[in-house]
Amino acid sequence: MDFLPGARSSYRISAFSSLEASNAIEGIRTTNERLAKLMSDKTTPRNRDEKEILGYRHALAMIHESFECIPIRPNYILQLHGELCRYADLSYGGKFKSTPNEIDATLPDGTRQVIFEPLQPYETPMAVESLCEQYEKAIGQYGIDPLLVIPVFIHDFLCIHPFSDGNGRMSRLLTTLLLYKSGFVVGKYISLEKKISDTKDDYYDALSDSSLGWHDGNNDDTPFVKYLLSTVLAACRDFEERVEIVSAKLPAKEAVRAAIKKKIGKFGKADIMELCPDLSTSSIEIALRALVEEGFIERRGGGRSTFYVRKD
């Protein structure tokens, strides 16, 4: 399955981006240095955020290694949530919510507004059971294309909002799991979570639009289906570009130049690392400095906010 040159390093880069992006969407952050150490088991978590990041890493690795043996059933979803929460030692890890939760937004004036009310706790177990059953019927009995069924499953999961915390991260883990089980393994090489993070406003808009009338069964899943399919398509295109660059076996500087030519607008070092998984971080940094000096690109910002733009 790992047919891409540099596949293992490619997965590490994708997993790093996924850890950073999926948790950042929920406001869970640490430094890149700390994240790299957590990824390689060279440190222990210092705080709640790092414990939750470590839980996501563990759950994502489990999906990557064992997706074929993880059925889409409520008890497995509960176990996956338990793995997500295992390092944070949360009492509600691996359990459906016991109190009502709601999805709200912060308005410009700082006040919070409820934008969606998920199902009540007593409704949740049966709803998740039904969701899994309908998914299996759609895929197996009715033969509906998985790329149409998966976004609907994820959208319904988010509307149910079955857990006290971690619903967004669970939805992204389940997206990866469902895609893998249907043969779409692009997430091994390109971070879907980063794609979602980069288009976060579109993600929330699509989710909101598809949720109108959900409780009455009158909602239209089309906006969220289109959004998720466009995300998967963008990842596939990045994968094709990566294959072209890696297969060319160019010197480091020229490989980075070729990767940059694929980018429109601003980009960061992490974007180039995804496209050039066979190059070390230091080689990419040296190449970027050389291309800045050459005048091919311009460096802007500083620290974690550093990004580049092409000057051609």
pLDDT more than 90, % of the chain = 60
**Average pLDDT, rounded, for the chain:** 89
For residue range 138-166, what is the model confidence (pLDDT) as tens digits?
999 999 999 999 999 999 999 999 999 99
The whole-angstrom separation of Cα 63 and Cα 81 is 12
**Chain centroid to CA 262: how far?**
22
Asked if 87 contacts 19 with a C-beta cutoff of 8 angstroms, the reply is no
Dump pLDDT digits (tens) for 293-312: 999 999 998 887 899 999 88
Q: Which residues contact 162 (CB under 8 A, 6 or more apart)?
A: 77, 96, 97, 119, 124, 127, 128
Could you give the residue ranges of the DSSP H alpha helices within 262-301?
269-275, 281-294
For 48-80, the pLDDT digits (tens) are 999 999 999 999 999 999 999 999 999 999 999
Q: How confident is the model at residue 240 (pLDDT cuts 50, 70, 90)?
A: confident
pLDDT of residue 107: 66
User: Is the per-residue pLDDT at 239 higher than 70?
Assistant: yes
Q: Which helix (H) or strand (E) holds 80?
A: helix 74-85
What distance in Å separates the CA atoms of residue 85 and residue 77, rounded to the nearest whole number? 13
What is the bridge-based pairing of β-strands 307-310 and 297-300? antiparallel
> pTM higher than 0.85, yes or no?
no
Token digits of residue 277: 């998984």
Burial of 134 from C-beta contacts in 10 A (0-12 / 13-18 / 19+) = middle
Whether the pLDDT of residue 5 is over 50: the answer is no
Return d(Cα 140, Cα 136) in angstroms, integer: 6
Phi, psi dihedrals of residue 115, rounded to the nearest 5°: -110, -15
Q: Specify the pLDDT at position 1.
A: 40
Distance CA 198, CA 304 (A): 16
Q: Which domains does the chain have, with CATH numbers?
A: 7-248 (1.10.3290.10), 252-312 (1.10.10.10)
